[in-house]
């Protein structure tokens, strides 16, 4: 294979990773759940009032303000949410989506779905 063709192949692979969000280096796969009415209007871990109609989520470790893309591993549907709370605290679950975000993934009735998470934007360093 010529040097030029090899260079073009490597460039295309790098571009694909960059466009897919994998360039951040963060990828997580697991189960998503959602929460709604019982927490609506209550304080979240970052001090905000939880609004079940906003595009937010709870994650155990990601910094507050991180924007993540959540992809349904079965359907390919995606939703972008901002981390503003902690949880879920049940083994095997990796993210707890707001009611609105769960609706975008059509998971309200199912309750749980397999997902993949990538970081789109990290909060600014303080």
Does residue 64 lie in a domain region? yes
Asked if 105 and 126 touch (Cβ cutoff 8 Å), the reply is: no
Does residue 82 lie in a domain region? yes
Q: Give the tens place of pLDDT for each residue, 37-58.
A: 999 999 999 999 999 999 999 9
**pTM attached to this predicted model:** 0.80
Asked if 118 and 23 touch (Cβ cutoff 8 Å), the reply is: no
Q: Which of 56, 31, 24 is nearest to 115 (CA)?
A: 31
Number of domains in the chain: 1
Does residue 4 lie in a domain region? no
Whether residue 117 is predicted with pLDDT greater than 80 in this model: the reply is yes
Whether residue 108 is predicted with pLDDT greater than 50 in this model: the reply is yes
Does residue 10 lie in a domain region? no
- Domain range for 69: 25-121
Does residue 100 lie in a domain region? yes
Three-point CA angle 79, 80, 86, nearest 5°: 110
Q: Give the tens place of pLDDT for each residue, 53-66.
A: 999 999 999 999 99
């Amino acid at each position: 294979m010529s040097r030029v063709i090899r260079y073009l192949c490597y460039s295309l692979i790098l571009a694909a990773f960059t466009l897919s969000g994998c360039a951040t280096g963060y990828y997580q796969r697991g189960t998503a759940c959602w929460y709604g009415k019982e927490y609506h209007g209550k304080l979240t871990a970052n001090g905000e009032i939880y609004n079940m109609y906003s595009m937010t989520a709870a994650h155990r470790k990601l910094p507050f303000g991180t924007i993540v893309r959540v992809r349904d591993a079965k359907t390919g549907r995606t939703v972008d949410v901002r981390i503003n709370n902690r949880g879920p605290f049940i083994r095997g679950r990796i993210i707890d989506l707001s009611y609105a975000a769960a609706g975008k993934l059509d998971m309200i009735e199912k309750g749980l779905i397999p997902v993949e998470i990538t970081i789109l934007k990290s909060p600014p360093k303080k």
